[in-house]
Amino acid sequence: MSEWITPGQALRLGAMAADALCGKKIANVQSIIEKGDEYAAGVVELVQRLSGQPPKLAIPIAPGNLTEMLKDQVSCLLRVNAHKQLGLTEEDYRGQLEAAVKAFQWRRDLAEIGLDKVALVDFRLSGKFLAEAGGVRYRSNPDRYRNYPGVVTPPDVLVIQGQWGSKYRNKTCRWCRENFDALEQGLTVIEGLTVFLHEGIAVLQNCYLDLPGSVPRHGGVPSLRLRGGRPVLDSYWDWGASGSSGSASRGK
């Protein structure tokens, strides 16, 4: 995101800062923050610090590049010909994806508990297709995984808001399943493979994705990780915690 702002934004921020310093319109400025204005957020934080007030910016704002990010994810699913898997025309499929993007609303309550990333997921696609489209090797058919008890997934397309593992480094998947916030649930294999399809190797270089929202046929936890520099979907028994991986989750 560019660090530059337009002259109009600069004038508006200057007026807001002046009003805030005079103690006249703090409430109005705060209301702008709550609508997701990151420039206003910076002004209010500065004003609060200058006036000796503790910062009140506990409301995380949506990423500034959110719109472009979701457009890229629409293009990603079209590029791998996901519509052909569903027997749809490219035009019809694009319409469905764009409708899901349009319906998405950034949730501050989820961002406040660390769920600050997004992924456009088509739950109608098979795990096998998503793995092969992303170049992910697998030992067992990804379509044989089932949802962990209590994990609910939609039947079609949804923009999910979540985190891809970093929040739960050094926690066992068993602990995570028992201690997820009331607003979140473990990411499933379909979601994890889609996240990898959108973000590529970089997402696994940061943190391997354990996917406690799914269960292999014989139990355990599925995990997306790098082996020999290549992405692999595998499963393991939840013996211990690791600093190189974490349980990925999303908002309910």
Domain boundaries, position 36 = 7-50
Assess whether 44 and 83 both reside in one domain.
no
Least confident segment among 29-33, 184-188, 221-225: 29-33
Q: H/E/C letters for each residue in the chain?
A: CCCCCCHHHHHHHHHHHHHHHCCCCHHHHHHHHHCCCHHHHHHHHHHHHHCCCCCCCCCCCCCCCHHHHHHHHHHHHHHCCHHHHCCCCHHHHHHHHHHHHHHCCCCHHHHCCCCCEEEEEECCCCHHHHHHHCCCEECCCHHHCEECCCCCCCCCEEEEEEECCHHHECCCHHHHHHHCCCCEEECCHHHHHHHHHHHCHHHHHHCEEECCCEECCCCCEEEEEEECCEEEEEEECCCCCCCCEEECEEEC
Assess whether 209 and 148 both reside in one domain.
yes
Assess whether 28 and 132 both reside in one domain.
no
Assess whether 206 and 96 both reside in one domain.
yes
Query: How many domains in the chain?
Result: 2
Report the predicted TM-score, pTM, of the whole model to 2 decimal places. 0.76
Confidence of residue 66 (pLDDT cuts 50, 70, 90): very high
Assess whether 189 and 74 both reside in one domain.
yes
**Residue 47's pLDDT is what?**
52
Rounded to an integer, the average pLDDT of 204-230 is 93
Confidence of residue 133 (pLDDT cuts 50, 70, 90): very high
Confidence of residue 19 (pLDDT cuts 50, 70, 90): low
Rounded to an integer, the average pLDDT of 112-118 is 96
Q: Per the domain annotation, does 55 fall within a domain?
A: no
Q: Per the domain annotation, does 61 fall within a domain?
A: no
Assess whether 44 and 70 both reside in one domain.
no
